[in-house]
Chains A and B, each alone.
Chain A
């Protein structure tokens, strides 16, 4: 029986790093069976590790990447202990095959016939070179939905341009629009909105194509242009350029209208709270919360414009109070006074967040190479077809037996041969050490 929207849908997952895998994660949450295609012969930087075989001795050189390995120890099978892959690994199955070889392509062609969706976000043209271009795949399975996530698009002069999320955000205007007031575009550091947004967009596009397939009965080519998609998230600044020929400049943490707005220091190292006041009632709440109720009555601070003109002065008062507060307590106190305020969450905060805990965001899972941990989970809730979190991230090749034997019906002899030839395995090849 179909218990979830995508029950009975099988996804062939050829995605890498963040954007693609996060789209697939949403499809898995909705009940699709996810067959991740990986290779023991090729290491994709950042998907299952920055290096294929890092050792404990390498940890000092890995810098912040080391903080993504369980206990900061890559262990015997580092590829199974890495937080980029594992943070998006719920509900996925992992199989291995070397698609650079003829036999590997044949396996993939067999898989294409038994899947409903193929999704990928590799370098432009990579799948084409392995015989997995849309025409070939469509010929093998005319009802398959083929989803590709190019940086720019399948056509046009930038078709073959390469880049990371940061390059995409630069093209899409994000670097020009954020930063400390009056500083260079690099002062903002690297943001990764595109990786988050692209996954959501690709999941949406895939779902729309599946919805349409139910009535049209045929597969489609789905193209998710990552840069074009996030340009659509500019809204106001883009319309300003269009209507008024004006390019907005970064204004730090302030707002063009609301005042005061800022990020203020709290007790402890690198602890902060974000505060945004947009009307006189919120202003009165802020004044009361920071122990200066008299200010609320002072006409010199009435209205956003008046407060914006004296923003530096107001910032100093707020900071004088916040610096003596615990960040979460500051948020709670300000909220109690009706002031929009948010703890500036560091990496540790979500884990202890009462809202996330109350909403069942974390799922405790055992993992053979990682031990027991709480895994962050779903981004929405469905009442009658609850999202799934059935299995922890798969180890590399964990489901080879299921895929080769059950799904593809291969005999033991052929499985042995494919194992000997390096297709089937559960760890990176020795030559990648």
Chain B
């Protein structure tokens, strides 16, 4: 079956993480995404790494490879009139243009919605930015860490005695990228029946502030009560805690205590459930349970503990490292990792098959583009430049 977004033509002027994640999602599900990068250096994500053997190479950055699957790529110097003219030419026949410049820059290039709409009234223009295209913080600078602090969950992460804690890198960008992709498909549905494009303004700040990662609920909770929920102490045994095993940890959430019976059954001591020495009728004390549970876990691997726990209806999973994930038997059976060849990075496995439509997930049509890989194909094919003209553009530093 055809991919859901097959035929949707996207001009991609984004860089870093959030915008490229949005266009990657579109590309993975069938859209024809053309990524435009600066000549010579390209997308800064080409410098992020990780690199094989820690040797920096613009075609081997793990983050870039991960974020740019299924896209074609050209280079354009947007500081030249010729470069900007080519973007306008591409926009005429595109369905979507996505950009993630600092607010105001796209307008200076003539890529603001009003200008592009005159060229192509059915074009969807999506801006992905930190704080949005308007408002007093529009020009504030952010990194993933400062953004997650301001818009996300940092205040509630960590222990009460210490400073709040950030999370894994780049979560605000991934949430914003997914939101931008959804917003674009929504706008594309409207475009299909009305023939009309529109401007889509996505900010990391609003995505975080409205996220159901608890932020939106905590904000309403404060509005309702004037009370804040403090950082909670690290998990207390045995209701919700990471228990050490022979090779790592397993994360349990067994609350309320009335469900501890499943833990007793799991460790093969159901009789304890009826000793009745705790405050809760019919249950052992927390200390008694801990005294049995800790050694039981330590004698087993985290995979073994997880399997036994799940067999007894206990919500518990292994705390996996990235290499555990690469080895995981479930993900292998599901075909989660897709291998693809890349001229410079070689054959690598790529993560991310997670959304299935009628059993079909995304297909790997191509790995991330080399810098300027499709210059000639796009200029001489789609846009009708001659080889000599393309050569001239190259000599002038436009491509």
- The answer to whether A207 touches B50 (Cβ under 8 A) is no
The docked-state distance in angstroms from the alpha carbon of A341 to that of B146 is 6
Contact A344 B355 (CB under 8 A): no
- Asked if A204 and B185 sit within 8 Å, CB to CB, the answer is yes
Asked whether any CB of chain A lies closer than 8 Å to the CB of B242, the reply is yes
Give the distance to chain A from B201, nearest Cβ to Cβ, in Å: 4
CB atoms of A170 and B170 under 8 A apart: no
Contacts of B202 in A (CB 8 A): 379-381
Question: Are A340 and B178 closer than 8 Å at their CB atoms?
Answer: no
Contacting pair A276 B178 (CB below 8 A): no
Residues of chain B within 8 A (CB-CB) of A411 are: none
The 4 closest A-B pairs by CB, nearest first: A239-B62, A196-B213, A22-B212, A342-B146
- Name the prevailing secondary structure of the B interface residues: mixed
- Which size bracket describes the interface of B in this complex? 35 or more
Given A243-B50, A243-B52, A342-B147, answer yes or no on A189-B165 (Cβ-Cβ < 8 Å): yes
A207 with B189: in contact, given A177-B168, A197-B175, A236-B50 (CB under 8 Å)? yes
A191, B323: Cβ atoms under 8 Å?
Answer: no
- B353 and A228 within 8 A (CB): yes
Say yes or no: B212 contacts A2, CB within 8 Å.
no
Instruction: Determine if A37 is an interface residue (Cβ-Cβ < 8 Å).
Output: no
Residues of chain A within 8 A of B323, CB atoms compared: 241, 245, 247
Please report B residues at the A interface, Cβ cutoff 8 Å.
Answer: 1-2, 4-5, 17, 25, 29, 48-54, 62-63, 65-67, 113, 131-132, 134-138, 140-143, 145-151, 153-159, 162-171, 174-175, 178-183, 185-190, 192-194, 196-203, 205-207, 209-232, 234-235, 240-242, 249-251, 253, 310, 313, 315-326, 329-331, 333-334, 336, 348-349, 351-359
Contacting pair A6 B143 (CB below 8 A): no
Once the chains are docked, how many angstroms separate the CA of A154 from the CA of B158? 34
Do the beta carbons of A247 and B322 come within 8 Å of each other? Answer: yes
- Of the candidate stretches A92-100, A104-112, A346-354, the one touching chain B is A346-354
Taking CB as reference atom, which chain A residue is nearest B348? A242
Q: How far is the CB of B109 from chain A (nearest CB, A)?
A: 19
Q: Is A53 an interface residue (CB 8 A)?
A: no
Q: When chains A and B are docked, how far (Å) is the Cα of A252 from the Cα of B164?
A: 10
Given contacts A5-B190, A341-B146, contact A191 B153 (CB under 8 A): yes
CB neighbours of A83 from chain B (8 A): 217, 220-221, 224
Q: Is the CB of A234 within 8 A of B168?
A: yes
The reply to whether A197 and B357 form a contact with Cβ atoms under 8 Å apart is no
Contact between A222 and B357, CB atoms less than 8 A apart: yes
Is the Cβ of B205 less than 8 Å from the Cβ of A204? Answer: no
For residue A26, which residues in chain B have a CB less than 8 angstroms away from its CB?
Answer: 182
A171 adjacent to B317 (CB under 8 Å): yes
Chain A residues, CB < 8 A from B53: 244
A208 at the A/B interface (Cβ < 8 Å)?
Answer: yes
Chain A min CB distance to B93 (Å): 19
